[in-house]
Chain A
Amino acid sequence: MADRRTRSMKSSNLSRTAVNRASMIALQLQGESSKLLELYRQKESFPADVTDGRLVSVPPPSSQLDTRDKLWRLHSALLQTQSLLERAITKEEEELGGGIKGEYENQRKTVKGRLSFLLLTTGNLLKAVDGAASLTPSLEGLELDGPTTLFQLKLWLLQVFSEVHHWSRAAVTTLQELLTNAADKQSSTTRVRSTRSARR
């Protein structure tokens, strides 16, 4: 309980502005990763309904999670996504790269940069609620032992880009929730104070 209480106290340290800023970055990443996915599908002529499995492993979402846990889950997922994306880019260049810097390659670079920025922002949010919290991404299960053929590699790349897009959406959702909760808490606190003031 003490731990819980501490967490709750720290959660109040979250800056609404910082959360809002992180939310905006996540929103940008969502759009950019969506475009990257589209470019990749066009490039590889993949049907739009190609099924994509999950590569990132985090605890399932739950309404029971508090702000810190939600942030931790999001940050952990984004860390894994970043690791996947960097490896994907390296592998793609190595196996399929032609040294060309077209629209797809530029978009890929943009998404990579934005994801790093979002990670930095969510890391700061996490520090705000949990002190000097430092997460090291667990790359367990992310090893590329599956794609032995180029087609599998291409599918894996598709999955990675899909993961980036998925977790960018998840980041938008989570951060929006945090913003909503913060607004609710502020309004309830105001109401309680008003009531107490009225009683006095």
Chain B
Amino acid sequence: MSVKELTISWFGGAASTFDLIILRTEFNTSVFYVRTQHFGRHEWKWTSAEPLECTSLSVRIRSRDGLATSEWSKINTFRGRDLPSINTLQMYPQDRVVEVGSNMTFCCIVEEGKTFKEMLYGNTIMNVTRLSRRSYATTLVNVEPTGVSGSNIVCRLKDLSLTGAVMFVGYPPLPSDFVCETQDLKSAECHWKEARDSHLTGERRRTRYSVNSRNCNVDSQLTCRLPLWDGNWTLMAENSLGHYSLSDSAELIHRVRPVAPVNLSSIANAWNATVIWQWTYESYFTLDLNCQVESTNHESKTLHVFSGVGLRSVKLSGLHPDQAYTVRVRCGDQKYFWKWGDWSQTFSFKTQTDVPDPPDVWMWMNKDRTGLVVWKQPLVLSKPVFTNNGFFLFWQQNATNTCNYLVEWLDTSCEHDCPVKWIRVAAGSTNVSIESGMPGMQAFTKGLFCPSDSPQLIKRWQGYTQELVPSRSVPLSVKSQDSKVVITWGEIPLSDRRGFVLGYNVYISNGSELALLANLSSSEMRRYVVKGLSVGNYKFTVKSYTSAGEDTGSTASITLEPFTDALILEMLGALGTITILLIIVTFICYKKRNWVKKAFYPDIPEPKLPGDWSRLQGPLDVRPSPHSMVHIVEKPERDFNKETLVVIPEEEEYFEKDEPVDTDEPMSLRYYNQVVDDRPIRPRFPGSSASSASSLDSGHTDVTYTGIQTSGSSLVFQPDPQGSSEEQPPEVVRYDGGYKPQMHPKVLSDDVVLKSSNPFQESEAASSVGYKPQCSWHLDSPTDTAETGSLAPSLGSPTSVASTQFLLPDGDGDEKNKQQPSSAAATWFSNLLLSSKP
């Protein structure tokens, strides 16, 4: 480190005035001379222009008393670096940092035997002063700021060897704009600027900063972070040329600069979008914020401003459908606004597509028969005040309008080619009165903006000098919807309203009178639903009303039909219930099948037959039981007054007997026991066939039976066409086969009886010699058909023969079809029983 200050002290005895002289030793040239007065300690500080290393200096002192002086003291030499013993090329001072505008002297000490050539400052050859034999000096006056690596002062010798020194010329620090703020609402972040470049580079020379004695690691940004909010801060800036301090103080809530919102997202609709973001710090949730959302669409930027506590989402309106938008957000404290926070990262979204509502169109006809069609969002229709002077219209002043207003009006009753009246109003006006002889009128106020040729609609009025009832009724329609009646109607055209429609009355026609159903006190409500009406014809009337009263009304009628759907539902429900009941009955029957079997289908006792009958195979001839004996009256016409049917008294007795009846019976029945068809059928009555045959020949004229157990085909009544007499042998009954079940679809009629002898019948009868279930029930005679009809079922008992089948009554021919389902059901039921038989 070069030094330039020389401190000289001496002992001067009693003298107080001294002469002090400083000489360059080698050349003995005076550098400094001073006369000074000293008391007590004698000391003098002298600052050399050149570094003291440049050359040796000699100091001599003498005392003075007026004009009398003492001898010069011995030479006291301060040795420089140009001593012969130091034979190197040197330059002083080195690495000096000086303030701009200073004067600076450098010296170069050349080696012994070498020849000095020049000293350069940059590319400038400097004036040089020779201080000693080997030392040369040059002085830089009013130095300018140096560059990044400082300025070089080069000393060159004749042999091209060189040395030099680096000098930095700059400024002391001068910080400004020192402020501290917070982003996390807890710590402090202090910022400042440098008013000027110090021009001092390098680690050793650069300005160092500290805030509240905390060293700040400053790189490119002059920022210092403190972990806590101190409230008062002092910035100290210091470099080689000096130091500077600044202070700041503030409350935390006054210095909030929000961080940038993060994680932006959006919920985009067609005309608006909700932009959502998040905050890095939870402490922001309670912060009253003011946020700017900048949306960019096709390079057009729009700034939206929102506010709220802990704002994290905003709804952007005024967007357009199917458009791409880029947004970014920044916020500031709303209550104590300090600075806007950092902008967030940009976020892009696209609005959804939309089908726009039909625009509100307004047409303006110019004088030159050109039309101007204007459409915009609907303006609210205002009602002007009507006085004796006419309609009083007023509107809000538009600051941007510098031209006149135009008010025009026309008759509301006019539909086409309407005469329009107008008046021009000065730009600053906000009201006007217009006279109108029209009972109703519409008025429009338009601002004529100077830069624009087309007028802009500002306000619309509709008023009436005197309100009347509408001249036309509403278009009405009525329709049924489920069990309700929906009445809808349209608007009355403006030209026919003749007043402000206040609402609608809905009536139902009750004979010749109208009964009020509803009073709708809004002109916007044009729908009414009537509930609880039964089937029938109804008429509805809707009347609009103004302050002057109701119009004549529109009437529409409707006929309510039965609700077929409900009927179908009821039927389906009934069918479902029946099905469920059947399933339940079937289930119960199945579970109680043993009981059912006992109750309705008891086991048939097997006859015990003596002897060996096993070899007999074939149809079993069964002689009818006594109670089955039929006595047919051969000549009914003879005893019409007599009872034709006589109950044989033996019946009861016989019925109680288990033993079979003997063979002397007039007819025999053949049957196969279908239930036990696996087993060989053993005839109950051996030789009954013959007896049967003989019995067929036995005649009886009186019919007496207690039951029928014959099928129609097997029991044929053949009337005597000639009128039989008692003497005639009875040939009334002919059994052409055996017993046949009542399932046979035979209808007893005269024709059928006559045809019964045909081959088919005979063969069928011959083949059908087995037993069949008695599902059919045939009348005994055609004459009984008409009478008996429904009585037929009461005839006879099913116990005449052993059978595994029920004896189900059959109706007459007309009811045969109706019986078939029940027969089928019976067959199904019998099958069920059979299948359950062990």
Task: Write the residues of chain A forming the contact surface with B, with a CB cutoff of 8 angstroms.
Answer: 43-47, 49-51, 92, 94-100, 149-151, 154-155
Q: How far is the CA of A154 from the CA of B166 in the complex (A)?
A: 9
Q: Does B143 lie at the interface of the complex (its beta carbon under 8 Å from any beta carbon of A)? A: no
Q: Could you name 8 residue pairs across A and B whose Cβ atoms are closer than 8 Å? A: A45-B122, A45-B123, A47-B156, A97-B201, A98-B201, A149-B95, A149-B165, A150-B150
Q: Nearest-CB distance from B185 to chain A (Å)?
A: 33
Q: Are A96 and B95 in contact (CB under 8 A)?
A: no
Residues of A within 8 A of B91 (CB): 151
Q: Are B166 and A149 in contact (CB under 8 A)?
A: yes
Q: Which of B120-170 contact A (CB under 8 A)?
A: 120, 122-123, 147-150, 152, 154, 156, 160-166
Q: Does B94 lie at the interface of the complex (its beta carbon under 8 Å from any beta carbon of A)? A: yes
Q: Does B204 lie at the interface of the complex (its beta carbon under 8 Å from any beta carbon of A)? A: yes
Q: Are A100 and B152 in contact (CB under 8 A)?
A: no
Q: Which residue of A lies closest to B203 (CB)?
A: A94
Q: A44-B152, A150-B150, A151-B94 are in contact. Are A50 and B162 (CB under 8 A)?
A: yes
Q: How far is the CA of A43 from the CA of B152 in the complex (A)?
A: 10
Q: Nearest-CB distance from A16 to chain B (Å)?
A: 43
Q: Supply 7 further A-B pairs (C-beta < 8 A) apart from A47-B162, A149-B94, A151-B163.
A: A43-B149, A51-B161, A94-B203, A95-B204, A96-B149, A151-B91, A151-B152
Task: Write the residues of chain B forming the contact surface with A, with a CB cutoff of 8 angstroms.
Answer: 91, 94-95, 120, 122-123, 147-150, 152, 154, 156, 160-166, 201-204, 220
Q: How far is the CA of A92 from the CA of B154 in the complex (A)?
A: 19
Q: How far is the CA of A124 from the CA of B220 in the complex (A)?
A: 42
Q: Nearest-CB distance from B251 to chain A (Å)?
A: 36
Q: How far is the CA of A95 from the CA of B95 in the complex (A)?
A: 11
Q: Are A96 and B123 in contact (CB under 8 A)?
A: no
Q: Are B161 and A98 in contact (CB under 8 A)?
A: no
Q: Are B204 and A154 in contact (CB under 8 A)?
A: no
Residues of B within 8 A of A97 (CB): 148, 201-202
Q: Which residue of B lies closest to A149 (CB)?
A: B94
Q: How far is the CA of A51 from the CA of B201 in the complex (A)?
A: 27
Q: A51-B160, A95-B203 are in contact. Are A150 and B123 (CB under 8 A)?
A: no
Q: A51-B161, A151-B94 are in contact. Are A45 and B150 (CB under 8 A)?
A: no
Residues of A within 8 A of B94 (CB): 149-151
Q: Nearest-CB distance from B419 to chain A (Å)?
A: 80
Q: Are B149 and A154 in contact (CB under 8 A)?
A: yes
Residues of B within 8 A of A44 (CB): 149, 152
Q: How far is the CA of A50 from the CA of B120 in the complex (A)?
A: 13
Residues of B within 8 A of A46 (CB): 152, 154
Q: Are A150 and B203 in contact (CB under 8 A)?
A: no
Q: How far is the CA of A96 from the CA of B205 in the complex (A)?
A: 9
Residues of A within 8 A of B148 (CB): 96-98, 100
Q: How far is the CA of A104 from the CA of B449 in the complex (A)?
A: 62
Q: How far is the CA of A95 from the CA of B148 in the complex (A)?
A: 10
Q: Nearest-CB distance from A52 to chain B (Å)?
A: 11
Q: How far is the CA of A149 from the CA of B160 in the complex (A)?
A: 20
Q: A95-B202, A97-B202 are in contact. Are A47 and B154 (CB under 8 A)?
A: yes
Q: How far is the CA of A95 from the CA of B161 in the complex (A)?
A: 24
Give me the 5 closest cross-chain CB pairs, A-B, nearest first.
A150-B166, A98-B201, A98-B148, A96-B149, A149-B94
Q: How far is the CA of A12 from the CA of B152 in the complex (A)?
A: 52
Residues of B within 8 A of A92 (CB): 149
Q: How far is the CA of A46 from the CA of B204 in the complex (A)?
A: 24
Residues of A within 8 A of B122 (CB): 45
Q: Which residue of B lies closest to A99 (CB)?
A: B220
Q: Nearest-CB distance from A97 to chain B (Å)?
A: 6
Q: Nearest-CB distance from B835 to chain A (Å)?
A: 102
Q: Which residue of A lies closest to B149 (CB)?
A: A96
Q: Are B152 and A154 in contact (CB under 8 A)?
A: yes
Residues of B within 8 A of A50 (CB): 160, 162
Q: Which of A47, A98, A151 contacts B166 (CB 8 A)?
A: A151
Q: Which of A92, A151, A154 has the most CB of B within 10 A?
A: A151
Residues of B within 8 A of A98 (CB): 148-149, 201-202
Q: A43-B149, A46-B154, A47-B154 are in contact. Are A96 and B163 (CB under 8 A)?
A: no
Residues of A within 8 A of B165 (CB): 149-151
Q: Which of B123, B149, B156, B160 has the most CB of A within 10 A?
A: B149
Residues of B within 8 A of A100 (CB): 148
Residues of A within 8 A of B150 (CB): 96, 150
Q: Are B220 and A94 in contact (CB under 8 A)?
A: no
Residues of B within 8 A of A94 (CB): 202-203
Q: Nearest-CB distance from B90 to chain A (Å)?
A: 10
Residues of A within 8 A of B220 (CB): 99
Q: Which residue of A lies closest to B123 (CB)?
A: A45
Q: How far is the CA of A175 from the CA of B796 in the complex (A)?
A: 141
Residues of A within 8 A of B166 (CB): 149-151, 154
Q: How far is the CA of A155 from the CA of B89 in the complex (A)?
A: 14
Q: How far is the CA of A49 from the CA of B157 in the complex (A)?
A: 12
Q: Nearest-CB distance from A95 to chain B (Å)?
A: 5
Q: Nearest-CB distance from A58 to chain B (Å)?
A: 25
Q: Nearest-CB distance from B23 to chain A (Å)?
A: 29
Q: Nearest-CB distance from A93 to chain B (Å)?
A: 9
Q: Nearest-CB distance from B544 to chain A (Å)?
A: 83
Q: Nearest-CB distance from B217 to chain A (Å)?
A: 14
Q: How far is the CA of A95 from the CA of B91 in the complex (A)?
A: 19
Residues of B within 8 A of A43 (CB): 147, 149
Q: How far is the CA of A46 from the CA of B122 in the complex (A)?
A: 8
Q: How far is the CA of A94 from the CA of B149 in the complex (A)?
A: 11
Residues of B within 8 A of A49 (CB): 160
